Structure 1
Amino acid sequence: MLFGKRSTEVTPEPVTTTTPMDPARPSGKGRPTPKRRDAERANRRPLVVDRKSMTADQKAKARAERTRVREAMLSGEEKYLPARDRGPERRYLRDAVDTRWNIGEILLPAMILVLAVSLLPFEWARGGTFLIAYALMLAGILDCWLLWRRTKKRFTAAFGEEPGRGSAWYVVLRAFQMRGSRIPRPQVGRGDTLSRR
């Protein structure tokens, strides 16, 4: 029948598995389960450290620890770097930028100079400085494009694969920063041979 019931329905028997209990092992954990509010209270920590309640010695220790961690990060210690700067690949990309002069790093001081000169009351100062500013920006973009092409080729030769996603922006943004303000600080000198460390 199409819509009828089966005359005989088979009901499966429940399968029960019994494991023999080890008499040497205790049946419980040996202590009562703590109430939820007690467990939450034990794990509760303040989100913000109350600096007023800290002693002078604790404040000095916390300040020294923050200074040590910051110096370690600036010096390029892998453990203290942010996630975006970790790994030998990122170190290689940083070194590729730091071993050469970049037009992008002189762009910020040049723009401040252009702004100062443009405030002069002379007409030639306004037109000439803005022309120089645009020429510097174009030169900086071209320099970064050439830097990325060369770095990508060297990276592929050193690591056997192309740089990961976001590497181009990582190189370009570092190239547009002044050398003294780069984080982590440059670990190689200008003109040094680029090698995988």
Structure 2
Amino acid sequence: MSDRDTRHQQAMQKLKSRVDEKVAEATEQRGLLLVFTGNGKGKTTAAWGTVTRALGYGYRVGVVQFIKGLWECGERERLVEDPNLEVAIMATGFTWDTQNREADTRACHEVWAEAERMLADPGVYLVVLDEITYMLKFGYLDIATVTRALAKRPAEQTVIITGRNAHRELTAMADTVTEMQEVRHAFNSGVQARRGIDY
């Protein structure tokens, strides 16, 4: 065995030892609060990937879409017929299109009622609150209302929150926070969003 191969084997043995140690320390079993935030692309896509994973194991999943609900969504179209998936959509779509605070607030509260029902249901394994960060930023929802529902949810339930500028109280209570960072986005160079790739 060459010196390089020997060094590689030793490095991998050390790495395996560290990984095995972390796995052995992870003894707690419960649902998680995950926050996917940042100005980069892929937050909702990552959430739908986890939805697909949970459905693959036969778990019940609830998705609440606060912003992009009326827009085409290939993941939703593919999965919507799964009997274990429930999707609630805010009826107004993009709030910057409606420009009507009263109507948007009313629509937000209507779909939030569906979210609260899902968050209280011990049979729902995963709940996705897609783009809820905007509802908090625009003042359509109160942060205390959201954090209270999250804190009271069943212990085995996992929640994914997506959207830019996640409220500091959400990131503080989250188990995992992932920030998507934009390095370059084709849309900013005049390239249209592509069906089956971007939505």
Scaled by the length of structure 1, the TM-score of the pair is 0.26
What is the TM-score when the length of structure 2 is the normalising length? 0.26
- Name the structure with the higher strand share: 2
Larger Rg: 1
- Counting helix residues as a fraction of each chain, which structure ranks higher? 1
Structure scoring higher RCO (CA < 8 A, sep ≥ 6) equals 2
